[in-house]
Amino acid sequence: MKDKHLMKGNDAVVRGALLGGATHFFGYPITPASEIAHLAAELFPESGGFFLQAECEVNAINMLYGAAAAGARVMTASSGPGISLMAEGISYIAACELPCVIVDIQRAGPGLGNIWPEQGDYDTVVTAGAHGNYKCIVLAPNSAQEMCDFTYRAFELADEHRTPVFILSDAYVGQMMEPVSLPKEIFRSRHHDWALYGDAASRKNLVTSIFMNADQLEAINMRLDQKFKDLAEVLEDVEETFTEDAEILFVAYGISARICYTAVQELRAEGIKAGLIRPKILSPFPEKAIGARAKNAKRVITVELSNGQMHKDVRLAVMRSQARTSLFNWMGGKVPSTKDVIERLCKELGKP
């Protein structure tokens, strides 16, 4: 077998999922995530798994709910409009503490918008979720390789912490083709003592998100809150480029981070001490890592394809430093070049 395989980021998601032990895929195709459902329809049955195209995204997320409750390793994939339709079901799954993986390949919005890349789902996936007091783990790949690796890892995280795990990507990363090395070890779905297997041993188990007793529901909310606080202590994961002495510190994820990486290289060549910190995990947000690097920076600049949704979290992370914060953003499907980022920085610094 070849060590590397050329594939789209969307295709890499499916291969990473199967090697990560995924057994069931339920979904409804939507651009720019459609290739995930297309390849899943082919490879899941070939691998002994199960694929079903639901009538809509509402049905798909509720199928995840049922299969996850039965102990299966389940996933779906969609884009912004579809994730919105899944919101109620995601809240139910989170309340029941069921593991699953949800892939969001972001497109421009609001509404139907267009199929070009954007990062406007950050608030929906990272900050707010659906109704209620909960948060999910959110992984943010920026390459086809990471689309495979992060999805592969997501199933283990979901099982270990009994929570939905999001893969939050964008149309560029999902559609670009790059060499990918597939994981060598294959994970397997495990038996869960909380799941409903339809046998005598699991007969006593209860999977529900409705609790009519206020004290009981408050206790569940507090447990979910504490679980996420504990996750924040162990899941912080960032990639740093020239951050040790950076006076200009960029913060970006996904395709924005790849653009900033090249910008930092060019700025360094011009003698400007620029650096980049890229969150690989957006939720829990890496406040400590960003805050620590901001202490030595003069400016911390968030670069994102939204109206500053991640920028709010960056500002909170650096509030104890003396660094000025700025937002460089593009929306509507516009994606900046390296030149665009550098020109906006020069304007910010008052340089020609």
CB 292 within 8 A of CB 317: no
pLDDT band at 3 (very low <50, low <70, confident <90, very high): confident
CATH architecture type of domain 239-349:
3-Layer(aba) Sandwich (3.40)
pLDDT (0 to 100) of residue 129: 73
pLDDT (0 to 100) of residue 329: 98
Q: What is the pTM of this model?
A: 0.97
- Could you check whether 5-234 and 239-349 share the same CATH topology? yes
The kind and range of the H/E element at 300 are: strand 299-304
**pLDDT of 128 strictly over 80:** no
Residues with Cβ within 8 Å of 267's Cβ and at least 6 positions away in sequence, in order, are 248, 274, 342, 345
Domain boundary assignment for the chain: 5-234, 239-349
**pLDDT of 175 strictly over 50:** yes
Buried b (16+ CB within 10 A) or exposed e, 271-304: ebbbbbbbbbbbbbbbbebbbebbebbebbbbbb
Across 103-108, average pLDDT: 98
What proportion of the chain, given as a percentage, has pLDDT over 70? 99
Top-tier CATH class for 5-234: alpha beta
188: how many CB neighbours lie within 10 A of its CB?
8
CA atoms within 13 A on the CB side of 219: 6
Across 99-108, average pLDDT: 98
User: In terms of residues, how long is the chain?
Assistant: 352
CA dihedral sign of residues 123, 66, 32, 6: positive
pLDDT band at 100 (very low <50, low <70, confident <90, very high): very high
pLDDT digits (tens, 9 = 90+) for 312-351: 999 999 998 899 999 999 999 999 999 999 999 999 998 8
Nearest to 195 by CA among 152, 222, 231, 159: 159
What proportion of the chain, given as a percentage, has pLDDT over 90? 95
**pLDDT of 232 strictly over 70:** yes
First to last CA, the chain: 52
